[in-house]
Amino acid sequence: MSASSETQDHRSNQVYGGTAHVSVGSYGSSAAGSGDTPEASGVAPQTGAASGRPRRQLLNTAGGRVLVGLIVPVAMLAAWYVTTAAGLFSPVQLPSPASVWSAADELVHRGELWNHIGISTQRVLLGFGIGGFLGLAVGSLVGLSRIADALFSPTIGAFRAVPSLAWVPLLILWMQIGEDSKVTLIAIGAFFPVFTTVYLALRHVDRNLIEAARAFGLRGLQLLTTVQLPAVVPSIFSGLRLALAQAWLFLVAAELIASSMGLGFLLTDSQYNGRTDRLLLAIVLLAVIGKTSDALLGLVERWAIRRWA
């Protein structure tokens, strides 16, 4: 046999031998792996994923989110009860939950509590509606017009920095003591969040979407209501929810204007009379009603996003 044939046979044996070695090694590894426990192979059992699955399912349901959201308020209520029961604060500084409940029951039997809640809710809804509408209109104008942007943006930005209480004496001077001045102050508070979010959102609408709409003959107000505003529905509702929160904040300042009814009046009157139980009651009611109104607006937001966004 020639030297070249011997060399080829030697290389073939090396290749076949190496292949067989790799195959046996792979089979041995797989066989050993199939017989190992998860702990021996270094793979932890998937108990974390299994235990995390119910938590995710709980948060994916409306009832589950409500239950989880109640944990902190219930814990705060329990801490409040324990603190007052232990006598860490005097009743004047921090009355017990039972005292606050008794104050609420007293106002209900006197027919005052529902009147306070009703008049404050009416003022907030009126001011929120007026301020939200004006914020949407002015935000659309300034967001779509470069001339209006240059003309109005600096002035609106300056007025936005004015504190709520600074408007009170001026509104009393202009509108006298009455519902008009209170609703106007709440409308001022609701205007700026809606204006800011709509103004910024409209400046970032996809230009290709606008050009396509113009190609179909849409112009002006029809283009705004058909294409541009539906494109920024999430931003609009973000501004509306901020405006609703601002309206409840401005309510207290508005009811400083010689009010005789309302939750803001209940706050200040309780302060002057040393009724801390009623003061805490007003704070709790503002928190609960404000959160309820925000949740209702959230339902409208979800419907609007499904409808237009």
Give domain status of residue 137, yes or no.
yes
Q: Which among 261, 258, 266 has a CA at the least distance from the CA of 176?
A: 258
Identify which has the larger pLDDT, 182 or 36: 182
Q: Can you tell me the mean pLDDT for 289-303?
A: 94
Q: What pLDDT score was predicted for residue 54?
A: 62
Give a yes or no: residue 18 inside a domain.
no
Tens-place pLDDT, residues 151-197: 999 999 999 999 888 888 888 888 888 889 999 999 999 999 999 99
Mean pLDDT of 42-68: 64
Residue 3: pLDDT over 60: no
Rg value, the chain, Cα: 33
Cα separation, 140 vs 205, in Å, equals: 12
**93, 276 contact by CB (below 8 A):** yes
Do 277 and 168 have their domain in common?
Answer: yes
**Residues spanned by the domain of 199:** 97-308
| Residues 124 and 191 both lie in one domain | yes
Q: What is the CATH number of the domain that holds 109?
A: 1.10.3720.10
Domains identified in the chain, total number: 2
The residue out of 44, 65, 89 marking a domain boundary is 89
Instruction: Locate all alpha helices (DSSP H) within the chain, ordered by sequence.
Output: 3-35, 47-59, 62-69, 71-85, 97-109, 113-144, 146-160, 164-175, 179-202, 207-215, 220-223, 229-231, 233-254, 263-273, 276-308
CB atoms within 10 A of CB 208: 8
Using CA atoms, how far apart are residues 253 and 246, in angstroms rounded to an integer? 11
Whether the per-residue pLDDT at 244 is higher than 90: the answer is: yes
Mean pLDDT confidence for 205-221: 83
Given 37, 70, 89, the domain boundary residue is 89
Give domain status of residue 13, yes or no.
no
Q: Please check whether residue 4 lies inside any domain of the structure.
A: no
Determine the average pLDDT of the residues in 131-137. 96
Contact 256, 269 (CB under 8 A): no
Residue whose C-alpha is closest to residue 246's, from 305, 167, 175 = 167
- Greatest mean pLDDT among 28-32, 54-58, 92-96 lies in 92-96
Q: Mark whether 72 and 102 lie in a shared domain.
A: no
Nearest CA to 244 among 289, 302, 180, 199? 289
**Residue 30 confidence class, pLDDT cut points 50, 70, 90:** very low
Dist CA 201 CA 140 (whole Å): 9
Average of per-residue pLDDT across 22-26 = 38
Taking residue 54's Cβ as centre, other Cβ atoms within 10 Å add up to: 10
Q: Is residue 30 included in any domain, yes or no?
A: no
Q: Do 288 and 153 share a structural domain?
A: yes
> CB of 218 within 8 A of CB of 227?
yes
Say if residue 225 is in the same domain as residue 301. Answer: yes
Q: Are residues 72 and 103 in the same domain?
A: no
Q: Is the pLDDT of residue 26 over 60?
A: no
Q: How far apart are CA 160 and CA 100, in angstroms?
A: 37
Residue recorded with tokens 């294409």 = 227
Mean pLDDT within 107-116: 93
Are 69 and 157 in the same domain? no
102 & 83 share domain: no
293 and 152 within one domain: yes
Is 115 within 8 Å of 261 (Cβ atoms)?
A: yes
Distance CA 268, CA 130 (A): 26
The model's pLDDT over 60-95, given as tens digits with 9 standing for 90+, comes to 777 778 888 889 999 999 999 999 999 888 888 999
Say yes or no to pLDDT of 216 above 80: yes
Average of per-residue pLDDT values in the chain? 82
Report which DSSP code applies to 60. T
**What is the pLDDT, as a whole number, of residue 309?**
66
Same domain, 214 and 230: yes
pLDDT digits (tens, 9 = 90+) for 265-279: 999 899 898 899 999
Of residues 26 and 56, which shows the higher confidence score? 56
> Is residue 17 assigned to a domain?
no
Confidence band for 53, pLDDT divided at 50, 70 and 90: low
Higher-scoring residue by pLDDT: 5, 219: 219
Residue 19 forms part of a structural domain = no
Assess whether 69 and 137 both reside in one domain.
Answer: no
Judgement on whether residues 143 and 231 belong to the same structural domain of the protein? yes
Instruction: For residues 40 and 33, give the distance between their C-alpha atoms in angstroms, rounded to a whole number.
Output: 9
Helix ranges, 203-275 (H): 207-215, 220-223, 229-231, 233-254, 263-273
For residue 262, tell me if it sits in a domain.
Answer: yes
Positive or negative, the CA dihedral 297, 299, 301, 303 is: negative
pLDDT reading at 13 higher than 50: no
DSSP string, 280-292: HHHHHHHHHHHHH
Q: Helices 146-160 and 179-202: crossing angle, nearest 10°?
A: 130
Instruction: Tell me the residue type at 160.
Output: R
Residues above pLDDT 70, as percent of the chain? 81
